[in-house]
A and B are shown apart, each in its own frame.
Chain A
Amino acid sequence: MNIHFEKRKTLSKKALFLVPLVSLAASFVLTGLILLLFGANPFATYGAMLKGAFGSWRAWTETLVKAIPLMLTGLGVSVAFRLKFWNIGAEGQLTVAGVATAWVAIFWSPWLPAGLLLPVAVLVGAAAGALWAGVPALLKTSLKVDETLVTLMLNYVAILFSEFLYYGPWRDPKGFGFPGTAPFPDAAWLPRIAGRAHAGLYVALVAALLLWVVLNRTKWGFELSIIGNSQRAARYQGIAVERNVVLAVLLSGALCGLAGSFEVTGISHRLQQGLSIGYGYTAIIVAWMAQLNPLAIVPVALLMAGLLVGGDQVQMVMGLPAAMGLVLQGMILFPMLAGSLFAEYRVKVYKNPAKAAESRAPGGA
């Protein structure tokens, strides 16, 4: 018997759908083995996670709270990834947007009409995220500076800058030394839907739908596909490659920025420590698991958020480290990468006695 991989002529639709699911199952099995090592019952643990993430109304809303930034940053990085622009700076773009939104919410409120405060704060935040992504984009397109390093480094710049602000000049004088700004005025609070889940959810859902339409049904989306596949071919077709890469990365940064703006206006109502719990990095897993498809990012982000929330529950219920959720997250990526093989290749099993004999023959090298 002989197992062969054969390249598929067209991407298998079924495989595209099945691969993430099977990968997920495989990662549950692998993590289960680790749980056994810890002496925990995998089924009980998964049960606790499921209950913690989706078992009650409150759990659902908390999962949504984490799913919203994951959706937005996932959408953001997927736009850049489609162009093979490795934006791993979602974390920084999110943080900078949080800072910019806080700036508007706190310092513009005295003169900006109350009704405009929230939209302006959010838009300025998104613009800040876009600009933060625009720096590596311009460096890449004009000087060919590697974007992976620049986006990563700018994360630290953004995070440390935000710390400087809420530990220093922006610290709330009435905050009893707590590192954070003063709370935003009420006009800058994003309405909540249920529990702590806020209206950012609607924006994320609409963004996913719009992005799908833009990428799949517009001329610009078509141009981006060509650029993502071959810049030389794009140039030859008369497409302005550099300009479009910069535009797409600005869009990427703006989406990541929205996530940051919603975190400060919807959840914390101030700029404070713990703005992001690594959403910008988890976004990379979300984007790949969704195979860069905007519509798939929504359920995948929900799942990842569930793992985060469920992980916290595991700590309380099972006495296991909360990091179990993170372990499971990481575990998903490996089968995913292995699984993407099956979307491109089909497995063929040969049962040929002649060949079997040949491979057993001692004459071979």
Chain B
Amino acid sequence: MFAGSESGGAARRPPPASLGKVRIAVMKDREGSAPKGGTAEAARAACAPEEAPGGRLVEMRGIRKSFPGVQASDGVDLRLDRGEVLALLGENGAGKSTLMNILVGLYRADSGEILVRGERASIGSPRDASALGIGMVHQNFMLVDTMTVAENVVLGIRDLPFVPDMAAAKREILRLSECYNLKVDPDAYIWQLSVGEQQRVEILKLLYRKAEILVLDEPTAVLTPAESEELNAVVKRMKGEGKAAVFITHKMEEVMSFSDRVMVLRKGKVVAEKATSDTDPKDLARLMVGREILFRVEKGPFKPGAKVLELRGVSAIDERGLPALRGLDLEVRSGEILGIAGVAGNGQRELAEVVTGLRPVTAGSISINCVDTTGKSPLEIIKSGVAHIPQDRNQVGAVGDMSVASNLAMKGYRARPLSAGAILLPGKVRELAKRLIELFKIATPSPETRIKFLSGGNIQKAILAREIGACSSLLVAVYPSRGLDIGATESVRKELVAERDRGLAVLLVSEDIEELISVADTVAVLFEGRVMGLFPAAEADPEKIGALMAGMSERGEESTP
């Protein structure tokens, strides 16, 4: 394995033609024999790690790509050897996804060249990439909901017969899922699967196509910690077989645990390339943003005031009709940030929706500023001074095809100064937009730009700007910093604290324990719709929260009655 060695240049590259062709021949052979040997023993034999030959798999040289107004890739060189995991680290908009989209044929570089297994490759489409053994798991999965796992796996394969042999496909999927420990039922429909399981299907799709070069775009963003560990094991196994992976991320911890080598991108350029063992998260963070980062948020003393939000015995059901909240008691006072910890899917989203009137309660009562709001409409609750930063910022928080200005006006349009009577005043809307864009430093070409063209961090800033403006008593923020880069995360956290210091009550749902401890005043841990523990953030430590998140109740701790 040449991972980490700096001199793996032209001399050591194997003769161009031979390696790739031979490997393809070997793979073809296996393809033919695998379905026949359907026994478990044969399956185990087939998934025994093959001889892992070292060597250069991919080399990208001088890649440039520009989009209107942005130089997304500015002369990037990248190399990937067999048996190595390369982490691409960078803030949102640093050009990580662009670079990888070029490798998998979704974009074409403006200039530069790509060599795969030493041969120059022209990758014009994902199919070309697939034929070269390159595959990508995108952030938003590319699966057909109404089709089964097996159907999704074979979908799009070149030379698929008119009537595909699904039995053979299923056998192969089972074999692969057994040897990589990717448990999934080939007959299940995609819509029945959890997000983590859907990701497994995406990976199986690539393995089924004999991909050797896997690109994973922020794969852990949607996973629970346990699922991330499983993914890590899968990647390690592939590594052992001489495959290689590129891992796009902006989380330093993941770089440390997943990768062998890390490349840091900033504004489309490579700013550092190091063996993972030669670096640490602090160093990486500095490289990523180009300055030292404050991990702790400055905040004033905790001076809780009157009770703003009170939940008494609140229960609710989720989309599938299963109980999501089971008799929840919570309260948030003014000047307090109540942090809700928990593994995603333990009732956090439902909690936020119940408070904001988007979901009915099945039992219990909710009051805001001592007024009963149980069963009130979202509009009535908005009018009582509640703002909401929703979990899904692209579909719910913002309307992608409308302008930044329109998005900023979506709370205030009902009243003066944005409207007079039934009439909307576009001049005032524009004025407001310009003011908020400047105040919150939203990077946008103009207020008329459709908001979907902004980066995730800037969309979130716009939502925050709008919601904070409309908020006079309670701010409900659901995963407000999820998927944001360090700079944007920092500004979101600062803003939440500023609102608390201004005397608002803040309900902050987060999966980032560090964030909760540094931002919140009080932390409540949710598990299966119940509060497992409630304590001042100052007394919280990550281990304790972690145990409660996993459903282990602690004796002697103040917990739910």
Is the Cβ of A232 less than 8 Å from the Cβ of B123?
no
Between-chain CB contacts (< 8 Å), 18 pairs: A9-B68, A10-B448, A217-B424, A218-B423, A222-B406, A222-B413, A229-B400, A233-B399, A236-B378, A236-B388, A238-B379, A346-B68, A355-B111, A363-B16, A363-B120, A364-B121, A364-B122, A365-B123
Complex-state Cα separation, A218 to B121, whole angstroms: 55
Is the Cβ of A235 less than 8 Å from the Cβ of B399?
no
The segment from B95-103, B240-248, B320-328, B389-397 that touches chain A is B389-397
Query: Contacts A9-B445, A361-B122 given: A235-B424 contact, CB under 8 Å?
Result: no
Partner of B68, one of A8, A221, A359, A361: A8
Chain A residues within 8 Å of B411, by CB: 237
Is the Cβ of B422 less than 8 Å from the Cβ of A230?
no
Say yes or no for A220: interface residue by CB 8 A criterion: yes
Is the Cβ of A350 less than 8 Å from the Cβ of B110?
yes
Chain B residues within 8 Å of A239, by CB: 379
Partner of B424, one of A11, A222, A361, A365: A222
Instruction: Give chain A interface residues in 217-272, CB to chain B under 8 Å.
Output: 217-222, 225-226, 229-230, 232-233, 235-240
Is the Cβ of B402 less than 8 Å from the Cβ of A232?
no
Say yes or no for B69: interface residue by CB 8 A criterion: yes
Chain B residues within 8 Å of A6, by CB: 67-68
Chain B residues within 8 Å of A237, by CB: 378, 382, 410-411
Complex-state Cα separation, A235 to B401, whole angstroms: 17
Complex-state Cα separation, A219 to B422, whole angstroms: 6
Complex-state Cα separation, A89 to B396, whole angstroms: 31
Complex-state Cα separation, A220 to B421, whole angstroms: 11
Chain A residues within 8 Å of B356, by CB: 236
Task: Considering the complex, give the chain B residue whose CB is closest to the CB of A220.
Answer: B422
Query: Contacts A6-B67, A240-B379 given: A230-B128 contact, CB under 8 Å?
Result: no
Say yes or no for B277: interface residue by CB 8 A criterion: no
Say yes or no for A358: interface residue by CB 8 A criterion: yes
Query: Contacts A9-B69, A221-B424, A358-B122 given: A365-B128 contact, CB under 8 Å?
Result: yes
Say yes or no for B317: interface residue by CB 8 A criterion: no
Chain B residues within 8 Å of A240, by CB: 377, 379
Show the binding face of A for B, using Cβ within 8 Å.
Answer: 2, 4, 6-11, 217-222, 225-226, 229-230, 232-233, 235-240, 346, 350, 352, 354-355, 358-359, 361, 363-365
- List 3 tightest A-B contacts by C-beta distance, closest first: A364-B122, A238-B379, A363-B120
Is the Cβ of B397 less than 8 Å from the Cβ of A236?
yes
Partner of A225, one of B111, B378, B406, B426: B406
In the complex, per-residue mask of B416-444: 1 if CB is within 8 Å of any chain A CB, else 0 = 00010011101000000000000000000
Partner of B120, one of A9, A225, A364: A364
Query: Contacts A9-B450, A365-B122 given: A232-B395 contact, CB under 8 Å?
Result: yes
Partner of B449, one of A10, A220, A232: A10
Task: Considering the complex, give the chain A residue whose CB is closest to the CB of B414.
Answer: A219
In the complex, per-residue mask of B10-42: 1 if CB is within 8 Å of any chain A CB, else 0 = 000000100000000000000000000000000
Chain B residues within 8 Å of A4, by CB: 108
Chain A residues within 8 Å of B445, by CB: 9-10
Is the Cβ of B121 less than 8 Å from the Cβ of A363?
yes
Most buried by A among B123, B382, B395: B395
Chain A residues within 8 Å of B254, by CB: none
How far is the CB of B311 from the nearest CB of chain A, in Å?
20
Task: Considering the complex, give the chain A residue whose CB is closest to the CB of B454.
Answer: A9
Task: Considering the complex, give the chain A residue whose CB is closest to the CB of B105.
Answer: A365
How far is the CB of B125 from the nearest CB of chain A, in Å?
9
Complex-state Cα separation, A226 to B111, whole angstroms: 40
Task: Considering the complex, give the chain B residue whose CB is closest to the CB of A11.
Answer: B450
Partner of B399, one of A10, A218, A230, A346: A230
Chain B residues within 8 Å of A364, by CB: 120-123, 128
In the complex, per-residue mask of B121-141: 1 if CB is within 8 Å of any chain A CB, else 0 = 111100010011000000000
Query: Contacts A9-B68, A218-B422, A222-B424 given: A229-B399 contact, CB under 8 Å?
Result: yes
How far is the CB of B217 from the nearest CB of chain A, in Å?
19
Is the Cβ of A226 less than 8 Å from the Cβ of B396?
no
Chain B residues within 8 Å of A235, by CB: 358, 378
Say yes or no for B398: interface residue by CB 8 A criterion: yes
Given pairs A217-B426, A358-B120, A365-B128, 12 additional interface contacts (CB within 8 A): A6-B68, A9-B69, A217-B423, A229-B402, A233-B397, A233-B398, A236-B388, A354-B111, A355-B108, A358-B122, A363-B120, A363-B122
Partner of B396, one of A218, A219, A232: A232
Chain B residues within 8 Å of A7, by CB: 453
Task: Considering the complex, give the chain B residue whose CB is closest to the CB of A218.
Answer: B422
Task: Considering the complex, give the chain A residue whose CB is closest to the CB of B107.
Answer: A4
How far is the CB of A349 from the nearest CB of chain B, in Å?
12
Complex-state Cα separation, A236 to B398, whole angstroms: 10
Task: Considering the complex, give the chain A residue whose CB is closest to the CB of B118.
Answer: A363
Query: Contacts A10-B448, A233-B395, A233-B396 given: A218-B388 contact, CB under 8 Å?
Result: no
Say yes or no for B192: interface residue by CB 8 A criterion: no
How far is the CB of B101 from the nearest CB of chain A, in Å?
14
Task: Considering the complex, give the chain B residue whose CB is closest to the CB of A239.
Answer: B379
Is the Cβ of B402 less than 8 Å from the Cβ of A226?
yes
Say yes or no for B77: interface residue by CB 8 A criterion: no
Query: Contacts A10-B448, A236-B390, A354-B111 given: A365-B121 contact, CB under 8 Å?
Result: yes
Instruction: Give chain B interface residues in 367-413, CB to chain A under 8 Å.
Output: 377-379, 381-383, 388, 390, 392, 395-403, 406, 409-411, 413
Task: Considering the complex, give the chain A residue whose CB is closest to the CB of B411.
Answer: A237
Complex-state Cα separation, A9 to B356, whole angstroms: 33
Complex-state Cα separation, A225 to B356, whole angstroms: 22
How far is the CB of B86 from the nearest CB of chain A, in Å?
22
Task: Considering the complex, give the chain B residue whose CB is closest to the CB of A346.
Answer: B68
Chain A residues within 8 Å of B59, by CB: none
Complex-state Cα separation, A365 to B20, whole angstroms: 12
Say yes or no for B185: interface residue by CB 8 A criterion: no
Complex-state Cα separation, A239 to B396, whole angstroms: 12
Chain B residues within 8 Å of A9, by CB: 68-69, 445, 449-450, 453
Task: Considering the complex, give the chain B residue whose CB is closest to the CB of A2.
Answer: B108
Chain A residues within 8 Å of B398, by CB: 233
How far is the CB of B376 from the nearest CB of chain A, in Å?
11
Is the Cβ of A238 less than 8 Å from the Cβ of B120?
no
Say yes or no for B119: interface residue by CB 8 A criterion: yes
Chain B residues within 8 Å of A350, by CB: 110
Chain A residues within 8 Å of B400, by CB: 229-230
